Amino acid sequence: MSYRRITAAGRLSGVLAVAAVLSVLPFLMSDYHQTEWAYVGVYFIAIFSLNILTGYTGQVSLGHGGFMMIGGYTSAILAVHHGWNIITTIPIAALICFGTGIVIGIPALRLRGILLALATFALAVSMPQIGLKFSHFTGGISGILTGYRPGHWLYPLSWSCAAVVFVLGWLVLRGRTGRAFRAIRDSEVAAVSSGINLALYKTLAFGVSAAFAGVAGSVFVIASNYAEPNNFPVTLSINILVGAAIAGLGSLSGMLFGAIVLEFIPTWSQSAPLIGSKQAPNVIQGLLLILIMLVLRGGFAGLLRRLGGFAARSGASLTDRIPDTS
């Protein structure tokens, strides 16, 4: 009991410290860095959404860019074609993606592991094509311009959404639902035999995860002021999975680092001093990722665990596998 209280307090102080830093950060940064960090917020939400599905429930998804696209287009269509304030479209995007996630989650029940990954990959591949096909609705290749809005609102918007998503997600994960998710991840057979409704919780995980991805997509479109198929390439879905792996699947503490890596590696790798080859940034990007994964098995969450000396004591992660018998 007391052990649990300490870790809970420790976790809370960690979250509050990070939140404090993130709230002070924009006052210390140039406009451009604020924009960059707003995108970090977007990737944070995306990684969290995938983490719920893959890290906590054990369902691999290579299609989260597709959910982001649905969320982003929802916002753009409501704002531009129906005159909504674009901020108010974010919850609608989440709702629509929740529904889409459930719909995709149901057939996905029959698939596991690599097959599920491939099925979700199909979503990532097909979404941009759908955007092109129904051009009266989506603007086709020209997409939907939402318009550039100057000002310092992007960073607060992105991180407010991240905070809301984080708290909601944390509430889901800490309770009964989260336990069911983790039980499914660890062993489906064991989960079923302890009375967990596999179909219900798996589809629920898909729905919640897709809803958060929709929020990420919505903020992404607001930030880039453009819903356009090329903004959601297949590589986006892969990058989110890479980011989640770097962060550390099944743990919340490394997600910020995963998001930072996703946002900054493409820029850093292009600024690396290289002679000649135009493809060099891709190579640098790949090498950096391999390096991170070699040095940091278990992602940044694993590193933090080791730094905190927590791993040595219990071998459990900071946030999950906490004894739940109170």
Partner 1 sequence: MHKRRKLVAVALVVALAALAAVTAATAGNRTSRIDPGVTSDSILFGDVIPLSGSAAVYGTIASAIQAYFNWYNDTHHGVYGRKVQLKVYDDAYVPAQALQFTQKLVEQDKVFAMLNALGTEPNLAIQGYLKEKGVPNLFLATGASEWGTNHAAYPMQIGYQPDYFSEGKLYGQFIKKKVPQAKLAVFMQGDSYGANMLAGLKAGLGSAASKIVATQSYQITDTDYSGYVAKLKDSGANIFMDFGTPGPTNFALIAAAKFGWHPQAVFINNVGGAPFYFNVLANRNGAGYLLNGAYGMIYFPDPSDPKTKSLPQYAVFQAIMSKYYPKGNLNDAFNWYGMSVADTAIRTLIKAGKNLSRASVVKAADSLNFKSRWLLPGIRVRTGPGHYFPISQMQLARYNGSSWVGLGGLVDARPGQ
* List of residues contacting partner 1 (CB under 8 A): 6, 9-10, 13-14, 17-18, 20-21, 24-25, 28-33, 35-36, 39, 129, 132-133, 135, 140-143, 145, 147-148, 150, 220, 223-226, 228, 230-231, 233, 266-267, 270, 276, 278-279, 281-282, 304, 307-310, 313
Q: Of 248 and 281, which CB lies nearer to partner 1 in the complex structure?
A: 281
Provide the β-strand partners of residue 227. 144
Q: At closest approach, how far in Å is the CB of 241 from partner 1?
A: 18
Residue closer to partner 1 by CB (options 187, 270) is 270
Smallest separation (angstroms) from partner 1 to the CB of 93: 16
Q: Which is nearer to partner 1, 13 or 194 (CB)?
A: 13
- Comparing CB distances to partner 1, the nearer of 206 and 257 is 257
Residue 294's CB is within 10 A of a number of other CB atoms, namely 8
**Distance in Å, CB of 256 to partner 1, minimum:** 10
* CB 222, min distance to partner 1, A: 11
Q: Name the residue nearer to partner 1 (CB basis): 150 or 195.
A: 150
Q: CB of 179: closest distance to partner 1 in angstroms?
A: 25
Is the CB of 69 or the CB of 191 nearer to partner 1?
69
Distances in whole angstroms, Cα of residue 305 to Cα of each of 253, 254, 265, 302:
9, 10, 24, 5
**Shortest separation between residue 257's beta carbon and partner 1, angstroms:** 11
Whether 143 and 227 have beta carbons less than 8 Å apart is answered as: yes
Note the Cα 148 to chain centre separation in Å: 24
Question: Cβ closer to partner 1: 123 or 172?
Answer: 123
Chain centroid offset of residue 51 CA: 7
Q: Which pairing describes strands 144-145 and 226-227: parallel, antiparallel, or unpaired?
A: antiparallel
- Shortest distance in whole angstroms from residue 103 CB to partner 1: 22
- Nearest distance from C-beta of residue 51 to partner 1, angstroms: 20
DSSP-assigned beta bridge partners for residue 226: 145
- Which one, 203 or 218, has the nearer CB to partner 1? 218
Q: How far apart are the C-alpha atoms of 85 and 272, rounded to whole Å? A: 40
